[in-house]
Amino acid sequence: MSKSKVGINRILNFGAGPGKIPVAVLAEVRNEFLNFENTGMSITEISHRSSEYSKINNEAQNAVKQLLSVPDNYKILFLPGGGQGMFSAIAMNLMNRTGSADYVVAGIWSGLAAKEAAKYGTVNPVFPKPGKLGDIPDSKSWTLNPNASYLYYCDNETIEGIEFPFIPETRGSVPIVVDMASNIMTRKFDVSKFGLIFAPVQKNLGTAGVVLAIIRDDLLGTPMKICPSVLNFTELANTNSILNTPPIFQVYVTGKILQWINIQGGLKEMEKQCCQKSQLLYNAINQSNNFYECHVPENFRSRINVSFKIGGGNDNLEEKFVQEAEEHRIYQLRGHRLVGGIRVSLYNAVSYEDTETLVQFMKNFQAKYQNSIERHL
């Protein structure tokens, strides 16, 4: 592979998170790292109380608002703690409303969120645990509580590769809380349908260490007494996410990536590319005569994280796939340790050409091993 603009021989990175960052963004960060905007300081050294950081913070919030058409009655926050921290923060900030919440447990991440929330109130799973991947019952059959504090679901289960093709409905005025960690900024959606949207940024929006949250004003003001200030949505909203020393570098990188998305053509272009990349990969899987198998039903297949098995789940063959891919400088394809197999993450910074290179490798790998192993069908 040729050297990139950042002067490094870049590999193809299909990691699930931290995910690939656009090279143009990395180059700009590099150029500003030692002397940010002629301050004589690195971006990692400036004060969070400075006018320079205030500008970074406000510009990132405004970019989110513009890209997602966020209504005026929502606050845009940057929080510490990552996704798992948010599992607790959501319950501590919102469960107090009625003492219970509905949870759509469709995969590992939503299951962990429900387990954490159960420490702070009553959690109602709206349907039994699915017997297999993507086996999600019709939403009309869900057991919903009209007095729930909120309905929680994960829009894209990163580990299994399950993405919801619809926004769940609730009863009465129950607000929807959604985890969009891995598919935020890959398509336009109606923010007003949600009470709270959150996404750790290290997949589509930056580097690990900060969570983007978009919360409706009427959901502020009822945190539990045990909720720490650093996870208190109301206190963070009142201080414009600068209650304590914020993760300045992470917010800075997120702002750069939001600018990059705008330059590329905004969410309309991101969605177009997302669909093209995932369709190319799923076509390769579907046309492989079951050499590659995706067990998620087609209507719930993720556009972002594509999980599949090789040779009916042949561990040795899957290890060969990962090793030989790395020999071709294609990295981070091993599936999550809880489900195994192969996982390909197609975040916004992953190009169509990157995906074409992977698909060609997959075809060559199949041709090499199709007839030399006993497939487990």
**Is residue 3 very low, low, confident or very high in pLDDT (cuts 50, 70, 90)?**
very low
**Is residue 377 very low, low, confident or very high in pLDDT (cuts 50, 70, 90)?**
very low
- Phi and psi, residue 77, nearest 5°: -120, 155
Whether the per-residue pLDDT at 253 is higher than 80: the answer is yes
For the chain, the average pLDDT equals 94
Q: What is the mean pLDDT of residues 225-243?
A: 95
40, burial (CB in 10 Å: exposed 0-12, middle 13-18, buried 19+): exposed
Q: What's the pLDDT at 376?
A: 44
- Is the peptide bond between 71 and the residue preceding it cis, with omega within 30 degrees of 0? no
In angstroms, rounded to a whole number, what is the distance separating the alpha carbons of residues 238 and 241?
A: 8
Question: Which are the catalytic amino acids?
Answer: 109, 179, 203
**Is residue 135 very low, low, confident or very high in pLDDT (cuts 50, 70, 90)?**
confident
The contacts found for 61-67 with CB under 8 angstroms, 24 or more apart, are 63/255, 63/258, 63/259, 63/262, 64/212, 64/214, 64/258, 66/262, 67/185, 67/258, 67/261, 67/262, 67/266, 67/267
Q: What's the pLDDT at 132?
A: 79
Q: State the CB neighbour count (10 A cutoff) for residue 24.
A: 18
Q: What is the mean pLDDT of residues 51-67?
A: 97
Domains of the chain are 25-262 (3.40.640.10), 266-369 (3.90.1150.10)
**Is residue 68 very low, low, confident or very high in pLDDT (cuts 50, 70, 90)?**
very high
The mean-pLDDT minimum among 92-101, 210-219, 315-324, 363-372 falls in: 363-372
Interval 277-290: pLDDT, tens? 999 999 999 999 99
Q: Map 329-371 to HEC letters.
A: CEECCECCCCCCCEEEECCCCCCHHHHHHHHHHHHHHHHHHCC
Maximal C-alpha separation, the chain: 64
In angstroms, rounded to a whole number, what is the distance separating the alpha carbons of residues 319 and 315?
A: 6
For residue 306, give the H/E element and its range. Answer: strand 305-310
Q: What is the DSSP string of 10-65?
A: PPEE--SSS----HHHHHHHHHHHSSGGGSSS-TTTS-TTSHHHHHHHHHHHHHHH
- This prediction has a pTM of 0.94
Helix, strand or coil for residue 212? strand
Q: What is the mean pLDDT of residues 247-264?
A: 97
In angstroms, rounded to a whole number, what is the distance separating the alpha carbons of residues 35 and 130?
A: 52
Q: What is the mean pLDDT of residues 42-68?
A: 97
Whether the per-residue pLDDT at 305 is higher than 60: the answer is yes
Q: What's the pLDDT at 372?
A: 66
